Amino acid sequence: MTIAPGRILVIDDDQAICLVVGEALRRAGHIVKIGGTIAERTQLLSSFDPEVLVTDIKLPDGDGLDDIVTIMEDDPRIRIIILSAQNTLNTAVRATEKGAFEYLPKPFDLNELTRAVGDALVSRRQTEHATGDSQDEEGPTEDLPLVGRSAAMQEVYRTIARVLANELTILVLGESGTGKELVAQAIHRLGQRRDRPFVAVNMAAIPRELIEADLFGYEKGAFTGALNRTAGKFEQANGGTLFLDEIGDMPLEAQTRLLRVLQSGEVTTVGGSSPVKVDVRIIAATNKDLPRLIADNRFREDLYYRLNVVPISLPSLRERRDDIPLLARHFLETAAQDGLPRKALDSEAAQLLTLYNWPGNVRELQNVMQRMSVLSREDVISADMVRQNLGLLMPNVEGDSATLGGIDVAVREWARRRLAISGTAGEGVLHDDLLAIVEPVLLRETLLAVEGNQIRAASLLGINRNTLRKKLNDYALDPTRLRQMEISNI
């Protein structure tokens, strides 16, 4: 059951954070006020009387932790959540010692903050009603769509925050499965047009000859089978947001027509002559290299500039490996909510997931987690289960090329699979991707053989010690942990 809304005060000198956090908490049903300084905090604490205070530490007029004890003496029921970019143990300890309810290092995940606020309200209300009404135990169940707390995703959140209050055209860039549509939905759902339609069109999914009719509509008799006047996606999205997915696949003639619509704000149906005014926010997306398409005369340069007003580049999953365990657990949770068996993920399994290169990005991770939650007979998904599910593509502690049918077979299978889905996801990264799969296996085995001695391993591998150290760092391989894992496996 969802907890009753609370009064939440958010203090951060970063306007973008205040905006996004404020919106997220409002969407979860809370009443929110925001401020950026200690002076504003003091004033709002007395005028607004919040139940939960979410505050940054580093504020322009002082240290946000200094007054915490006084605030709690004045209002013993208040729950305080500390945010800080100074992600040191010291800051966490200071916050807890002062009596903060929760400490969240920046960058944080919006879902986690919303959950923390929910927990803080539950804690406060349980104290208020000492008899304890356990019905309120769950936090707000609002599903904030974008999971991830890596620096790259924080940058995405900040850009999203900046475009919510305006109508600027957005171009979302990123490989397939990185969450481009999710970003478009988030901008719509958090923005001013949230009560109006969100219409998505995928250029790659519609036969080329039907794209114009689909987007702009058509008149009765415009072509064989056009039995009635039909509104296109532009008209359907009127007042709301039109998401043009895979814009790089749009045929040139349709591009010309789209450009005209964007310039005039009017749509003329196929076979029609009188234009209709439309008011839509455009969010386009592509996994293609548009400047390259322009150079090849396959994309109009003028349309590119029209669309590329605010670009948002989504990182591939392998560029934000830190987020993989969080996302993996998120997908296990959503799978459980969808009625699949509830599974947990052990830490070694989570670590293994971060070593894989995820050519299909978040979508592939989501599919793998769903599959494992169905197939795993245990309640906890183990590293072995992960190895089995990612097949030959994973480093394998017991790896023996004979049982895998030989390295050449493995590489051939891998290459065929990648080339089948490539052109998009594999463009320009195939070689690096293969290296990122085989190299950690080699490094790991060599280190295990020499009991973690990096000088010896570098010598066996025939590479420089610094190069080895850098590679271990890049692949998040910790020689000490490899040894421990091996010992515990015996």
Residues that bind ligand ATP (CB under 6 A): 146-148, 174, 176-182, 245, 287, 362-363, 366
| Complex with ligand ATP: residue 182 or 438, whichever CB lies closer | 182
First to last CA, the chain: 46
Q: How far is the CB of 177 from ligand ATP (least distance, A)?
A: 5
Q: Is the dihedral of CA 162, 166, 169, 172 positive or negative?
A: positive
- State which H helix or E strand residue 259 sits in: helix 252-264
Q: Which residue of this chain has its Cβ atom nearest to ligand ATP in the complex?
A: 179
Q: Kindly tell me which of 157 and 218 has the beta carbon lying closer to ligand ATP.
A: 157
Which residue number, 182 or 344, has a Cβ lying nearer to ligand ATP? Answer: 182
> Helix-strand-coil percent breakdown of the chain, rounded to 5?
50, 15, 35
CB of 259 to ligand ATP, least distance (A): 23
Name which of 156 and 482 has its Cβ closer to ligand ATP: 156
Residue 429 corresponds to which tokens in the numbers above? Answer: 């990264």
Question: Is the CB of 52 or the CB of 147 nearer to ligand ATP?
Answer: 147
Q: Cβ of residue 245: shortest distance to ligand ATP, in angstroms?
A: 6
Cα 43 from Cα 462, distance rounded (Å): 65
Smallest Cα–Cα separation from 428: which of 310, 307, 246, 292? 292
Least distance to ligand ATP, CB of residue 366, Å: 5
Sign of the CA dihedral running 189, 192, 195, 197: negative
| Contacts with 64 (C-beta within 8 Å, 6 or more apart), sequence order | 11, 38, 41, 55, 56, 57, 58, 82
Of the two residues 178 and 241, which places its CB atom closer to ligand ATP in the complex?
Answer: 178
| CA 284 – CA 13 distance, rounded (Å) | 31
Spacing of C-alpha 121 from chain mean position: 27
Q: Measured between alpha carbons, how far is 270 from 276 in angstroms, rounded to an integer? A: 12
Least distance to ligand ATP, CB of residue 230, Å:
25
Cβ 362 to ligand ATP, closest distance in Å? 4
The smaller minimum CB distance to ligand ATP, of residues 139 and 177, is found at 177
3 state SS of 114: helix
- Rounded to a whole number of angstroms, the minimum distance from the CB of residue 105 to ligand ATP is 19
